[in-house]
Every structure is written in structure tokens, then in C-alpha cells.
């Protein structure tokens, strides 16, 4: 049973500051992510405002309908009360009015006295107008009696007497107008019910002030407005609290993530320092164990040749010089090898394919491990960063194989395709440990992963220790890193090659 291990590493933030000023910057100078969070709260604010306005409108509309229904019920109750008053009054004088003639002044006087005596409450009374507009009965406002009030209007311009006479001619009816209260002298809203005595041409009626109804309705409207405003405040308060909680949570997470990123940045920085020290140590070992020893041999050979020339032993001196020259040739080869490891010139001159070919050939010659390299027509189409990344990944993989895999056979394949480019490196070594995880991964694997992530590519690591299949590294680069033929020609200062059909080429 094999193990498939995939490596993924979090990118570190390029910012570091634990001082109190950093907290101030976080709170008052939001980052891009915080700005996005604040922008994301705008729909919540708009929704809360829309809900508040909708609730207010609906509440007012519903309350207004209920208030109007209440007002209608109260006024209808007043009208029923007035009709009962008028009915009782008519019953009280109907036995006089019924048999009386049109010109029976005694009967009219008797009925007037009866109506004048019928007062109720503080402001309730009966009034009588003839059809000419003359007031005949008004017990609480006697200054109106005997005067003709045709054309009288209230403070709002509503006809009073003329409308009462018109309703009386029709038989009966309701009329609402502003009238002076007898008890206070203040003007108030009155509803009057008038009944016509057609034989005498009298308009008999009474009215009731509905200030209590209007006050009740106004109080109800004020109470509704207060409740709607309070509901609006509640919704606004809840929204503000929710926004503060969201913002505080976002700030807390941002500060926490920044601290974690700072810790990861420390680790990354330390890894970079470790990589630099390791590379410096490797170069120092290469110089000390290789070139330094060779140059020491050259120095000894030249010193021996100098002494032999001084003793005129030219034959032995020539031998020492030849040995020194051989050592110098070896030193030159070592310098070139170290230079190639640091920055291979063939990568810039001939492209990635020849550079990887040279790398695998040198690896096979140096380690004795059978190494095969294959590629398709690639036409040097990768950009410079991608070439360097793939070369370094291949270099790191071969180094790991040499040090740890104990492999006898290595294959490397590079090809372009419709989705980009893929490089696969496989060996038949012992594979990775069974409990391998990214916390114990070496810096080499981390470097490979980070290099490919910088190019938006992917790296897969497949390994098995139980069936002898070794380890496979598969690196994929997206199509965005493939150069167009014109760009490739400009980068290499050579005319573009004509298209050549190939199964692995990018079209």
C-alpha cells in the first residue's frame, strides 16, 4: 500500500510590527481585507435601513387603518346617540305637532318651550331654525334667537345654517362643522343631526362636540408614531450592535492572523537564512575539498619544477610542470562545475531542455546512477522565471535522490501541452518515510513547493516504500508562463521557428 503525500505551505505576509502603533494602524488604517469587510457590511446596513423603513411604513399604514376604524366607530356611536336624542325630542312634542295646523302659534310656542328645556351635559342643547334661516330655539346661546343666520359659515368656511336647512328639507341628515362651545367659548368640532318639520318648515336638531373623539384619535396616532420610532431605534440599535460585533470579530481575526503570519514570516526568514548558510557551506566545501586541494597540488608541482630547474634537472622539471598543468585543468573543470551549479550558462544560451539534459548527464556521471532524460519539441517557449524554477526544482530533486533515495534508476521527462508545461522526475529508491508530514519535510521540498507556488503552479509528490516504486515528483506550470513565438524570438534574438507538428507541443 503506497502513500501519496502532497505538500502545501501558507504564504507569509511581508509585514512585521508588534508595537502599539501597529494596533493603531490596524484600527484606523484598515488593510485591504478590512476594507473589503467594511464594504461587505454596506448591504447589511442597506438591508437594515430598508427593513426599518418598510416596517415603519407598514406599521403606520396598519395603525392608520385601525385608527380610522376606531374614529369611524366612535363617530357612529355619537351619531346613534344624537339620533336617539332627536327621536326622544320628537316623541316628546309629536302629540302637539301632529294635530296642530300650519299657523298654530300656540302649538309652536309650546314645542319651542319643550325643546328649550331639553339640555344635557355641559354643552348639549336643541336648536330650531325656520327655513328662512331665523333661529327660533337656542337655550345655551340666546343671542342667536330671533336673528337670521342664512349664509353663516364656520372658521373653515363650511356653511352651517344653510346646510342644516337643506338637510331638513330633505327630511333628515348629518352635518359636521366648527362651533363655539357654550361652556368655554372655545371653538370645537361638532356633529349635528337635523330633522325637518315640513308642515311648520322647521329644522329641529341637536349636536355633540367630538373633541374627545379627536383627542382619542390624536393620542392613538401619537402613540403609534412613538412605537414606530421606538421600533426604528431598536432596529438601528440591533444593526449597530451586530455591525460592531462583526467588525470587532474581523479585527480580532485580522490581528490574530497577522500575528500568525508574523510567526510564519519569522520561520520563513529563518529558513532563508538556513538555506543561505547551507549554500555557503556547500560552496565552501566544494572550494576546500576540490579546488583548494587541486591548487595546493599545483603549487607543490610548480615548486618542485622550480627547484629542479634551479638544479638544471630539466627532464624532471618538465614532468612536474605537466602535472601542474593537469591539476590546473582539473581546477578549471571544477570551477566550471561549481559555476554551472550556481547559474548554468546553457540555461540562458540554449534553453531549459539542453540545460536539464546536461544536468542529468552530469548527475549520471558523478553518481553512477542510470539516468534518462526525455522531452518533446519545446522550442524554448517558457519565460525566464519558469525556466529557472524548473531547473532549480530538478537540481534539488536530483540532490535529494543522491543523498537519500538509494536509487539505481532515475527518469526525467519535460513536455509542453495545451494546459502549460509538465516536468516529471521519478526514481526507484526507497521512497519517503511512512509518517512523513509537512512539519518534518526538509528545506529542499519546501523550496521546491514555494518556487512553484510563486508561479501559480502545482507540485505533487507521490511516494511508496512498500512496493519498490520509489518517489515521483510532478510539477505543472499554467499556460500563462508560455511565451508566444514572437516574444520567444525577441527573448532569444533569433527569428521564430516555423510551426512543427508535435504531440507534446503547445498550439
Mean pLDDT to the nearest integer, 94-113: 89
- CA torsion sign for 414, 419, 420, 426 is negative
Q: Return the SS3 of 156.
A: coil
- Concatenating the DSSP letter of every residue in 421-432 gives EEEEEEE-S--S
Query: Mean pLDDT highest for which of 11-15, 189-193, 464-468?
Result: 189-193
Supply the pLDDT for residue 204.
Answer: 93
Encode pLDDT of 17-57 as tens digits: 444 444 455 445 666 666 666 676 777 778 878 887 888 78
CA distance 204 to 365: 132
255-269, 376-390, 439-453, 470-484, range with the lowest pLDDT: 439-453
Supply the CATH number for residue 471's domain. Answer: 3.30.565.10
How many domains are there within the chain? 2
Per-residue pLDDT tens for 414-426? 988 778 888 999 9
Q: How far apart are CA 457 and CA 436, in angstroms?
A: 23
Strands 409-417 and 370-375, by their bridges, are parallel
Q: Considering the domain boundaries, does residue 60 fall inside one?
A: no
pLDDT at 59: 79
Question: What is the C-alpha to C-alpha distance for residues 207 and 193, in angstroms, rounded to an integer?
Answer: 6
- CA 44 distance to own-chain centroid: 10
Residue 132, in any domain of the structure? yes
Under 8 Å between Cβ of 75 and 176? no
Which residue segment(s) compose the domain that 149 sits in? Answer: 98-209
Indicate the burial class of 95 (C-beta count within 10 angstroms; 0-12, 13-18, 19 or more). Answer: exposed
Q: Which residue did the predictor score with more confidence, 315 or 397?
A: 397
First-to-last alpha carbon distance for the chain, in angstroms, is 39
Could you give phi then psi for residue 488, rounded to 5 degrees? -65, -40
For residue 468 the three cell numbers come to 519498490
pLDDT score, position 30 = 62
Q: Is the dihedral of CA 213, 215, 221, 227 positive or negative?
A: negative
**21 occurs within a structural domain:** no
CATH of the domain at 174: 3.30.450.20
DSSP helix/strand/coil, 468: coil
Q: 138 in a domain, yes or no?
A: yes
Most confidently predicted of 63-77, 304-318, 354-368: 354-368
Whole-number pLDDT of residue 11: 36
Name the band, by pLDDT with cuts 50, 70 and 90, for residue 467. Answer: low
This prediction has a pTM of 0.44
Mean per-residue pLDDT for 450-476? 80
Q: Which residue has 582539473 as its cell numbers? A: 330
Please tell me whether residue 133 adopts helix, strand or coil conformation: coil
Name all contacts of 20-25 with Cβ < 8 Å and 24+ positions apart: 23/255
Nearest C-alpha neighbor of 5 from the set 430, 394, 438: 438
Residue at a domain's end among 152, 178, 209 = 209
- pLDDT for 29: 63
- Which of 209, 237, 268 lies at the terminal end of a domain, its last residue? 209
Residue 276 corresponds to which cell in the numbers above?
Answer: 543561505
Identify the sign of the CA torsion 359, 362, 367, 369.
positive
Cβ-contact 471, 459 below 8 angstroms? no
Round the average pLDDT of the chain to a whole number and report it: 78
Cβ atoms of 164 and 151 closer than 8 Å: no
Q: Where are the alpha helices (DSSP H) in 138-210?
A: 161-170
SS3 437: coil
Return d(Cα 177, Cα 159) in angstroms, integer.
8
What is the reported pLDDT for 136? 93
Q: Residue 424 — φ and ψ, nearest 5°?
A: -125, 130
Mean of pLDDT values over 391-419: 87
Position 148 confidence tier, pLDDT thresholds 50, 70, 90: very high
Q: Is the pLDDT of residue 481 over 80?
A: no
Is the confidence at residue 493, as pLDDT, over 70?
Answer: no
Q: What pLDDT score does 400 carry?
A: 87
Residue that is last in its domain, among 176, 209, 242: 209
Give domain status of residue 413, yes or no.
yes
Read off the pLDDT band of 234 (50, 70, 90): confident
For 201, what's the count of Cα atoms within 13 Å in the CB-facing half-sphere?
Answer: 7
Q: So what's the pLDDT on residue 503?
A: 34
DSSP state of 150: T
Asked whether residue 291 is domain-assigned, the answer is: no
22 close to 459: Cβ distance less than 8 angstroms:
no
Q: Give the span between the Cα atoms of 345 and 53, in whole angstroms.
A: 72
Q: Is 90 inside any structural domain?
A: no
Determine the average pLDDT of the residues in 486-498.
46
Q: Which three cell numbers stand for residue 379?
A: 522550442
| Beta partners for residue 478, in sequence order | 420
Distance CA 49, CA 238 (A): 12
Taking the CA atoms of the chain, what radius of gyration do you get in angstroms?
Answer: 54
**pLDDT score at 7:** 36
Helix (H, G, I), strand (E, B) or coil at 210: coil
113, 158, 172, 466 from 138: Cα distances, Å: 11, 20, 19, 120
Which of 59-63, 147-151, 336-340, 400-404 has the highest average model confidence (pLDDT)? 147-151
Is residue 329 assigned to a domain?
no
Amino acid at each position: 500500500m503506497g502513500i501519496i503525500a502532497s505538500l502545501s505551505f501558507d504564504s507569509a505576509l511581508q509585514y512585521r510590527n508588534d508595537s502599539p502603533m501597529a494596533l493603531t494602524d490596524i484600527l484606523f488604517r484598515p488593510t485591504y481585507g478590512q476594507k473589503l469587510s467594511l464594504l461587505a457590511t454596506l448591504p447589511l446596513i442597506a438591508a437594515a435601513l430598508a427593513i426599518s423603513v418598510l416596517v415603519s411604513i407598514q406599521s403606520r399604514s396598519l395603525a392608520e387603518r385601525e385608527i380610522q376604524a376606531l374614529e369611524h366607530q366612535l363617530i357612529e356611536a355619537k351619531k346613534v346617540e344624537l339620533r336617539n336624542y332627536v327621536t326622544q325630542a320628537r316623541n316628546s312634542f309629536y302629540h302637539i305637532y301632529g294635530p296642530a295646523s300650519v299657523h298654530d302659534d300656540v302649538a309652536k310656542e309650546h314645542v319651542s318651550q319643550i325643546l328649550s328645556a331639553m339640555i344635557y351635559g355641559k354643552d348639549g342643547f336643541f336648536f330650531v331654525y325656520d327655513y328662512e334661516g331665523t333661529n327660533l330655539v337656542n337655550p345655551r346661546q340666546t343671542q342667536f334667537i330671533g336673528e337670521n343666520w342664512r349664509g353663516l359659515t364656520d372658521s373653515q368656511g363650511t356653511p352651517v345654517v344653510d346646510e342644516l336647512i337643506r338637510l331638513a328639507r330633505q327630511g333628515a341628515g348629518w352635518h359636521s362643522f366648527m362651533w363655539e362651545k357654550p361652556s368655554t367659548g372655545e371653538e370645537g368640532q361638532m356633529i349635528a343631526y337635523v330633522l325637518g318639520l315640513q308642515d311648520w318648515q322647521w329644522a329641529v336638531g341637536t349636536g355633540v362636540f367630538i373633541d374627545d373623539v379627536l383627542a382619542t384619535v390624536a393620542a392613538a396616532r401619537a402613540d403609534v408614531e412613538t412605537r414606530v420610532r421606538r421600533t426604528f431605534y431598536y432596529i438601528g440599535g440591533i444593526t449597530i450592535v451586530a455591525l460592531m460585533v462583526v467588525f470587532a470579530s474581523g479585527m480580532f481575526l485580522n490581528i490574530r492572523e497577522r500575528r500568525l503570519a508574523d510567526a510564519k514570516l519569522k520561520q520563513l526568514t529563518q529558513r532563508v537564512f538556513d538555506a543561505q548558510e547551507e549554500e555557503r557551506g556547500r560552496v565552501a566545501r566544494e572550494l576546500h575539498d576540490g579546488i583548494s586541494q587541486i591548487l595546493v597540488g599545483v603549487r607543490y608541482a610548480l615548486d618542485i619544477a622550480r627547484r629542479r630547474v634551479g638544479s638544471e634537472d630539466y627532464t624532471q622539471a618538465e614532468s612536474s610542470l605537466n602535472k601542474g598543468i593537469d591539476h590546473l585543468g582539473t581546477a578549471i573543470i571544477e570551477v566550471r562545475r561549481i559555476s554551472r551549479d550556481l547559474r548554468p550558462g546553457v540555461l540562458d544560451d540554449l534553453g531549459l531542455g539542453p540545460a536539464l539534459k546536461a544536468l542529468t548527464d552530469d548527475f549520471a556521471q558523478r553518481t553512477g546512477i542510470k539516468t534518462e532524460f526525455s522531452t518533446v519539441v519545446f522550442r524554448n517557449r517558457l519565460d525566464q522565471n519558469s525556466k529557472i524554477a524548473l531547473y532549480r526544482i530538478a537540481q534539488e530533486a536530483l540532490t535529494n535522490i543522491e543523498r537519500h533515495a538509494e536509487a539505481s534508476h532515475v527518469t526525467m521527462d519535460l513536455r509542453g501541452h495545451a494546459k502549460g508545461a509538465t516536468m516529471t522526475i521519478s526514481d526507484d529508491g526507497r521512497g519517503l518515510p511512512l509518517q512523513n508530514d509537512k512539519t518534518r519535510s526538509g528545506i529542499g521540498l519546501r523550496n521546491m513547493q514555494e518556487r512553484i507556488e510563486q508561479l501559480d503552479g502545482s507540485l505533487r509528490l507521490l511516494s511508496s516504500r512498500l512496493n519498490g516504486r520509489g518517489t515521483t515528483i510532478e510539477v505543472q506550470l499554467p499556460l500563462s508562463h508560455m511565451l508566444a513565438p514572437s516574444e520567444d524570438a525577441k527573448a532569444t534574438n533569433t527569428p521564430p521557428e516555423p510551426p512543427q507538428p508535435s504531440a507534446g507541443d503547445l498550439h
